[in-house]
Amino acid sequence: MASRDPSSRFKGSNRTPPRGRGGLPHRRNREDRDGPAILYGWHTVTLALANPKRKIRKLFVTENALRRLQDENIDLKKLTPEVVRPSVIDQRLGPDAVHQGLLAEADPLPALDISELPQDGIVLVLDQITDPHNVGAILRSAAAFAVEAVVTTARHSPEATGVLAKSASGALELVPLVIVQNLARALNEMKEHGFLTVGLDSEGSTNLAETELRAPLALVLGAEGKGLRQLTRETCGTVARLDMPGEIKSLNVSNATALALYIGASRLGLMK
């Protein structure tokens, strides 16, 4: 993973996380994966507060952030925020985290099942994309293009918390996640439900802009550098590439996602 996420979860979903200075939880180890999601930053936390499906357990705020919440009449879901100094949140998240005076502990959102995916739009499928910044940026693009859901694996993917949630800037509250154990099996199940599965790969046999597309459409993206795994590529109904006129022929995976979504949404008549 390209960046360490300081907010991996506590062991034992029924346990109260250990507290540090100011009542905030201590930093957690990577293996501590069960427990509350950590959300920070203005857009991330306020959209979580506005999401009726998101249960907020604890809310830590600075005086300035609390004043802004009150000025903007943001519903705190009957929470009693704990007012702390900015340095206390800094200590919890690390000096590079831009928290804007807000940190929340929340229950993870419920994930969809493959069988619950809508049949009239676009779904993104992520094949072992592990960088939380990239996945967060992909979720932002997904929200911008009204993607129905993002499918990812239980392993070899970042948790929906911390750095990913901040990079997504609230998109976690807008785009449902589908967590699967086996991606090839999930792709086959999606095909059984009528999905056209299109893998994106620089060695694809056709240009995505010239590929016949229809809904429901699943765009499958691989990790930066490695691309799609062989089994994933073989399971996709079509493998397409993104042709570009410039000297640089490859894009960051989050940028490639945005371009693919624009092409897909345009071809499916989803652009308003």
Closest among 113, 115, 123 to 216, alpha carbons compared: 123
The β-bridge partners of 105 are: 38, 58
CATH number among 1.20.1260.10, 3.40.50.720, 3.30.1330.30, 3.20.20.330, domain 37-107: 3.30.1330.30
CA-based Rg of the chain, rounded to a whole angstrom? 20
Three-point CA angle 246, 239, 203, nearest 5°: 45
Domain 114-268 class, CATH top level = alpha beta
**Would you say residue 20 has pLDDT above 90?**
no
Omega of the bond prior to 216 within 30 degrees of 0, cis?
yes
* pLDDT (0 to 100) of residue 34: 59
CA distance 206 to 241: 6
Token pair 């830590």: residue? 60
| Within this chain, domains 37-107 and 114-268 share the same CATH topology | no
Digit-coded pLDDT (tens) for 131-183: 999 999 999 999 999 999 999 999 989 999 999 999 999 999 999 999 999 99
Angle between helices 132-144 and 253-267 (to 10 degrees): 20
Q: In terms of DSSP bridges, do strands 217-222 and 196-200 run parallel, antiparallel, or are they unpaired?
A: parallel
CA triplet 173, 176, 177: central angle to 5 degrees? 115
pLDDT single digits (tens) 39-87: 999 999 999 999 999 999 999 999 999 999 999 999 999 999 999 999 9
Res 35: pLDDT:
74
Strand ranges of the sheet holding 206-207, from the earlier edge strand across to the other edge: 177-180, 149-153, 122-127, 217-222, 196-200, 238-241, 206-207
User: Above 60 in pLDDT, residue 32?
Assistant: no
pLDDT digits (tens, 9 = 90+) for 192-223: 999 999 999 988 999 999 999 999 999 999 99
Please check whether residue 89 is in contact with residue 147, taking contact to mean a CB–CB distance below 8 angstroms: no
Q: What are the residue ranges of helices labelled H in the chain? A: 42-50, 63-71, 86-93, 132-144, 162-168, 183-192, 230-235, 253-267
What's residue 63's pLDDT? 98
Q: Domain ranges in the chain?
A: 37-107, 114-268
